[in-house]
Amino acid sequence: MPIHILQPQVAAQIAAGEVIERPASVVKELIENSIDAGATDIRVEVREGGRSLIRVQDDGRGIPAAEAPLAFQRHATSKIDTLDDLDRLRTLGFRGEALASIAAVAGVTLVTRWHDEQVGVMLRMMDGREAAREPRGGPAGTVLTVENLFASMPARLKFLKQPATEAGLIQQIVTRYALAYPERRFSLVNDGRQAFQSTGSGKLYDVLVRVHGLETARQMLPVGDVGAEPRADDAPTGIRVTGYAGVPGLHRSNRSYITLFVNHRWFQDSTLTYAVVQAYHTLLPTGRFPVAVIFIEVDPAEVDVNVHPTKAEVRFSNGNAVFGAVQRAVRETLTAHAPVPRFGAEPAPGAWAGAEDWAARREALLGAGRRDYRQYPLKPELGDALVPGGPDDMPAKVPLLRVVGQMGATYIVAEGPDGLYLIDQHAAHERILYEQLMRQHATQTLAVQALLEPLVLETTTEQQPFIAAAMEALKEWGIAIEPFGAGTYLVRSVPAILAREDPHGALHELADGLAQEANPLEAARESALVTLICKRAAVKGGQPLTMPEMQEMARQLEACESPRTCPHGRPTMIFMSAADLARNFDRT
């Protein structure tokens, strides 16, 4: 094919691909326009995950009737004139691309009335061209309706996820803007159902409650002087950091609960996310991440928002200063409000909880003048003598065990007829609970605890599709759960083993765990659910146990079908035979 210039419609569709990736991108662009128009009430409605319909209605200043067709031209904007204006940018938009892009890939109807005009205008765009225009009365403000997104682009359509997933992404966008603009009201209606609403009270905390739920919001601490107007003398660097950060006890299995904004614009940045995580250094168990909503304010000249097609990333002229400011602000909040916990955190690999204590005790015992046993290094072969899972030559059972004591509040030391057993208390308890639960389920005697008052579980957008899919499995395993609207569920019962402590935290962990389960098969989901329940209910490493508790655990482990591995297949115990011990002490 010879070189030729693409048809305008094709070129427009290709260019649109940069900005409009999926329904959530349309929602993002339309909300940004409403915010830039000074709207205080922004209503979003979507159908079928935004595929068939997206409508954003605002009470902003509107568009003058004569300018309406221009709004759909590429590079047509009312927000900047020259490149220098970017250094003073106070608006979210500036490229004049969004409406043109959306009109290239969907049917668009604009109804708008400029606040200073008597009559408004209705303008319909089809295939990127004007299809109808007529005067229209109505309140000042703008309604943009986008229909049949990507209808003419099968390749794009194929790439879209399930409507529920797309709706989830849309909700994520709406909640981000609600957080960034607490003084404006946002609402989202999904397939006729109210999915989210903020009050516009101006209080960030109120929005936090709507986004994360009361239970989580209560565990969040203010960072900086939230709510106060920025002052010139706030920070010598001109960088201001505010927001909310969770107490260390509130943690999640991934980083997605850390939300960043710069000058009221959401953005993603792994370095600054790391700055937040860093501020929690030593306060969180390994592999766990905090919940935080962080607002950074800088001079617009100090941040380049024009480096990413959808503006999801930005570049700071002094990245190090911003990193330091974020880390400091969060750390200050944590040290001011939250004491460092002693136990509860999982021990770092290679150490065990209470290791420092133990070292100190040992030093005291050894005392001055005594020989330090460390002068006698263990024989190198000792490593080979330790057998994970137990001795090979016996059936998968364990013999009667005599508990000797607990080590590092994490391992149970026990003696068997054939040698020494070191038992991982968490893994062993997981195994015990797993077999208990399976047995009860098989004999239809599952111990279920009805809750006195139904528990309200607020879930995140990511968790929702997984909970919906696992509804049957949850019921099957004692969690009576029903949708209660706007991403909340009523939980009326839980398995008895989860009832003892904080069922709310337990359910949250289950929801997160389900969202992580990659295998969509019903059976896989169910077995993931059962192991998750056991994991949560089992005693943790770092938890001191009494002698009777350990004896009971040993007794239950002896009764297990497969006592040597936990439900995930990891060993519950390490074994060293009496013969190996003797050999290592040169007794033979």
Distance of alpha carbon 162 from alpha carbon 23, whole angstroms:
12
Residue of minimal CB distance from ligand ADP? 93
Residues 6+ apart with CB under 8 A from 7: none
DSSP codes of every residue in 316-380: ETTHHHHHHHHHHHHHHHHHHH-PPPSSSSPPPTT--TTHHHHHHHHHHHH-TTSPPGGGSPPPT
State which of positions 124-163 bind ligand ADP (CB under 6 A): 142
Taking CB under 5 A as the criterion, the residue among 98, 211, 284, 507 binding Mg ion is: 98
Given ligand ADP, Mg ion, none, residue 79, with its beta carbon under 5 to 8 Å by kind, binds: ligand ADP
Nearest partner of 51 among 155, 169, 166, judged by Cα: 166
- CA–CA distance from 174 to each of 43, 181, 242, 287 (Å)? 10, 11, 20, 29
416 touches, from ligand ADP, Mg ion, none (C-beta below 5 to 8 Å by class):
none
- The nearer residue to ligand ADP, 58 or 424, going by C-beta atoms, is 58
From the list 12-20, 31-39, 345-353, 459-467, the region that binds Mg ion by CB under 5 A is 31-39
Give CA–CA dist 522/274, Å, rounded.
36
Q: How far is the CB of 144 from Mg ion (least distance, A)?
A: 11
Q: Are 404 and 395 in contact (CB under 8 A)?
A: no
Decide: is 96 part of the binding site for ligand ADP (CB under 6 A).
yes
Of the candidate spans 91-99, 290-298, 495-503, 545-553, the one that interacts with Mg ion by CB under 5 A turns out to be: 91-99
> Which residues are CB-neighbours of 125 under 8 A, at least 6 positions away?
72, 103, 107, 108, 109, 110, 131
Nearer to ligand ADP, 118 or 445 (CB): 118
Q: Does 310 bind ligand ADP (CB under 6 A)?
A: no
Cα–Cα distance for residue pair 29/64, rounded to 1 Å? 20
Stretch that binds Mg ion, among 55-63, 90-98, 234-242, 522-530 (CB under 5 A): 90-98
Q: Is 13 in the site for Mg ion (CB under 5 A)?
A: no
**C-beta of 92 vs 433, nearer to ligand ADP:** 92
Residues 362, 375: contact at Cβ < 8 Å? no
Site for ligand ADP in 13-42 (CB under 6 A): 29, 33-34, 37
Task: Write out the two tokens for 523.
Answer: 């059976």
Q: Which does 455 bind (CB under 5 to 8 A by kind): ligand ADP, Mg ion, none?
A: none
Q: Which of 49, 93, 182, 513 binds ligand ADP (CB under 6 A)?
A: 93
Sheet-wide strand order for 448-458: 448-458, 488-495, 480-485
User: From the list Mg ion, ligand ADP, none, which binds 60 (C-beta under 5 to 8 Å, kind-based)?
Assistant: ligand ADP
| Site for Mg ion contains 27 (CB under 5 A) | no
Angle at 25 between CA 66 and CA 107, to 5 degrees: 50
Query: Taking contact as CB under 6 A, which single stretch among the options 53-61, 367-375, 432-440, 519-527 is the one that binds ligand ADP?
Result: 53-61
Report whether 191 contacts 209 (CB < 8 A): no
The residues binding Mg ion (CB under 5 A) are 33, 93, 98
The residues binding ligand ADP (CB under 6 A) are 29, 33-34, 37, 58, 60-63, 71, 76-79, 93-100, 142
